[in-house]
Amino acid sequence: MFQKLEDVEKKYDELTEKISNPEIIADQNGWREYMKEHSELEPIVEKYREYKKMQKSMEDAKEMLEDPELKELAETEIQDIKEKLPKLEEEIKVLLIPKDKDDDKSVICEIRGGAGGEEAALFAGTLFRMYSMYAERKHWKLEILNENATELGGYKEISFMITGKGAYSRLKFESGVHRVQRVPDTEASGRIHTSTATVAVLPVVEDVEIEINPADIKMEVFRSSGAGGQHINKTSSAVRLIHEPTGIVVECQTERSQFQNKDNAMKMLKTKLYDMEKQKQDSEITNARRSQVGNGDRSEKIRTYNYPQGRITDHRIGLSIYQMEDFLNGNLDEMIDSLITADRAEKLKGNDEE
302 contacts 313 by C-beta, under 8 angstroms? no
pLDDT value of position 271: 85
User: What is the DSSP-derived secondary structure letter of residue 215?
Assistant: G
CA dist., res. 290 & res. 17, Å (int): 38
Rounded mean pLDDT, 47-69: 90
pLDDT value of position 289: 40
Kindly tell me if the per-residue pLDDT of 228 is higher than 50: no
CA dist., res. 323 & res. 352, Å (int): 36
pLDDT over 90, % of the chain: 38
Rounded mean pLDDT, 141-162: 90
Q: Among 143, 145, 144, 135, which Cα is nearest to 165's?
A: 135
Q: How many CB atoms lie within 10 A of CB 156?
A: 16
- The rounded mean pLDDT for the chain is 84
* pTM tops 0.85, yes or no: no
Kindly tell me if the per-residue pLDDT of 24 is higher than 50: yes
pLDDT value of position 188: 63
User: What is the DSSP-derived secondary structure letter of residue 330?
Assistant: T
CA dist., res. 57 & res. 29, Å (int): 42
**DSSP assignments along 87-152, one per residue:** HHHHHHHHHHSPPPTTTTS-EEEEEEE-TTHHHHHHHHHHHHHHHHHHHHHTT-EEEEEEEEE-TT
Q: Among 150, 166, 190, which Cα is nearest to 107's?
A: 166
pLDDT value of position 298: 52
CA dist., res. 10 & res. 343, Å (int): 29
pLDDT value of position 329: 96
Residues in the chain: 354
Rounded mean pLDDT, 200-215: 78
Residues 175-187: tens digit of each pLDDT: 999 999 998 866 6
Q: How confident is the model at residue 276 (pLDDT cuts 50, 70, 90)?
A: confident
Q: Which domains does the chain have, with CATH numbers?
A: 2-96 (no CATH), 102-204+290-354 (3.30.70.1660), 212-288 (3.30.160.20)
pLDDT value of position 207: 59
Rounded mean pLDDT, 320-333: 95
CA dist., res. 329 & res. 141, Å (int): 17
Kindly tell me if the per-residue pLDDT of 350 is higher than 70: no
Q: How confident is the model at residue 117 (pLDDT cuts 50, 70, 90)?
A: confident
Q: Are strands 301-306 and 176-182 parallel, antiparallel or unpaired?
A: parallel
